[in-house]
Amino acid sequence: MTRVTYEQLASAPELASLALLETALDVAGVALAAAWPELNDYDMAREHPEPRAALDILHCASHLLASVNHYRLLLATAEARELDFPF
């Protein structure tokens, strides 16, 4: 998880909600692992519907985290945005 600085939030306020999302996904992963210890054995977890669904959630969470990281990378390499609010 990445700690967001004031400077980052000033130029990209959406990073606050993305930081919350990362934390929520991390907590969900830990909770699912605690609830379904059989997740450590992929083949065993795939045999039962509940741990299989937990694996599906973890898989989706992994893709979502990758998307968040990609977004952050694009922000880090982009030129500074101009704050041109329509209001």
pLDDT at residue 80, as a whole number: 66
The structural domain count of the chain equals 1
**N-term to C-term CA, the chain:** 33
**How do residues 44-76 score in pLDDT, each as one tens digit?**
888 999 999 999 999 999 999 999 999 999 988
Instruction: Decide if 56 is inside a domain.
Output: yes
Instruction: Decide if 86 is inside a domain.
Output: no
pLDDT surpasses 60 at 83: no
Instruction: Decide if 7 is inside a domain.
Output: no
H-type alpha helices, 1-87? 6-11, 14-35, 42-46, 49-77
Instruction: Decide if 30 is inside a domain.
Output: yes
Instruction: Decide if 10 is inside a domain.
Output: no
**How do residues 3-22 score in pLDDT, each as one tens digit?**
889 988 888 899 999 999 99
Instruction: Decide if 87 is inside a domain.
Output: no
Task: Determine the Cα–Cα distance for residues 72 and 69; give it in Å rounded to an integer.
Answer: 5
Instruction: Decide if 6 is inside a domain.
Output: no
Quick one: 76 exposed, middle or buried, by C-beta within 10 A (0-12, 13-18, 19+)?
Answer: exposed
Q: Which domain holds residue 57?
A: 15-77
Angle between helical axes of 14-35 and 49-77 (0-180°, round to 10): 160
